[in-house]
Amino acid sequence: MVWTFEFYRTQDGSHPTVYSMAASEGQWATRLTGRGQAQHQIPLANSGMSYSDIRDLSTGNKYTIVQKWGSHVTYAGVIQRVWYVRSKQMLYITSQELRQAYMNDRMLYGVYNYEPGGTVLSVSNKSHSGATRAVLAKAMSWDWFWELPIDLPADGSGGFSASWQHSERLKLEDHLTQIEADGCEINFRPYISSGNLRYATEVASQVTVGSATSLNADGGPIIDITPTFDYAREMTGLLGFGKGGTGAYAYGYSPGDGSAAIGVRDSWLSFPDIDGARLEAAVEAMDYVGYPTEQWSVDLNIWPNGPAAYAPGSLLNISISGDPIIPDGTHNMRVIALHGDLGTTVTAEVQRAAA
């Protein structure tokens, strides 16, 4: 099995099978945050494609480049920048995952629908999944050309309520970020269905996929492990300021249990678009900043089974013994990002999975 490449129309996920261009080199990264990106090099010499076909297929935003191993979509990125080196007859394409490429620039309404003083969308007593569904449905509801190949998540009741106004000038990404700040993650997982590219919308307090894969650090596919302990964001207290500046704030702190003998590092963060109960929830959801961040880079050999078991959200139970830094035992980790090139080695960025 080797890497394969296909191009799909971003707007509807359809696949123009008449086209065939394969990358010879590339670097890619996919992340749970939807902010992964890639650069692929595509040789055009003797490709057999016409000028018009090449120019069409490399049109930014219109097309998404997909890198697969078998049927598994490892990376899907909307084309953002293209350049050509004539001496090499090489086309260079950079791309970004859908959330970064589209949702960070797209509003929930068209410019002709702007209403000063008007309400864009209100949700009341929704689950995080239900609120996400309402936001995505609104963003794709105006006409067929507003649609994207995104599966809406399940509706449901819960404690999330919000009313978003035109005057706030929010992008689609801003709405999703606000929902996540309430204590969840939103992931758009690409997959192929009936020959078309689609995205499954996953909403959970911690997004996971599939069952855990057990690995031995001293054998099997693991090549190396590089743990990093980041203390830069360690705090002893956190103030969150929302709408209205100091008129709307909340306070969160880490228990002073003596486990970390550090001096006071009380700090603050700004949440300019939220207030009230959602502001308090946002501060509480960030209680992890009270502790160091531990993240491992795990280099893996994916031959011959491919990278599917290490996709973002995958659970890895890694057994280690006799190491001077990492304690003995099985470490339950979750993949938050995966990156690599066109070879058979990938690097999974992993953090501790929720208990």
pLDDT at 247: 46
pLDDT of 187 above 70 = yes
Measure the CA–CA gap between 237 and 253, rounded to whole angstroms. Answer: 4
Report the alpha-carbon angle 122-123-126, nearest 5: 175
Tell me the chain's radius of gyration from C-alpha atoms. Answer: 22
Retrieve residue 286's tokens: 């960030």
pLDDT digits (tens, 9 = 90+) for 91-133: 999 999 999 999 999 999 999 999 999 999 999 999 999 999 9
Using DSSP bridges, classify how beta strands 90-96 and 72-85 pair: parallel, antiparallel or unpaired: antiparallel
Coil/strand/helix, residue 289: helix
pLDDT digits (tens, 9 = 90+) for 225-278: 999 999 888 777 788 888 876 545 556 655 555 555 677 788 888 888 888 888
pLDDT at 18: 61
pLDDT at 354: 86
pLDDT digits (tens, 9 = 90+) for 266-298: 888 888 888 888 888 888 877 656 677 899 999
Contacts of 54 (CB under 8 A, 6+ apart): 21, 44, 47, 91
Phi (first) and psi of residue 54, to 5 degrees: -65, -45
The H-or-E segment that residue 301 falls in is strand 293-301
Measure the CA–CA gap between 51 and 274, rounded to whole angstroms. Answer: 50
Measure the CA–CA gap between 125 and 115, rounded to whole angstroms. Answer: 25
Measure the CA–CA gap between 102 and 59, rounded to whole angstroms. Answer: 15
Please state the pTM of the whole predicted model: 0.93
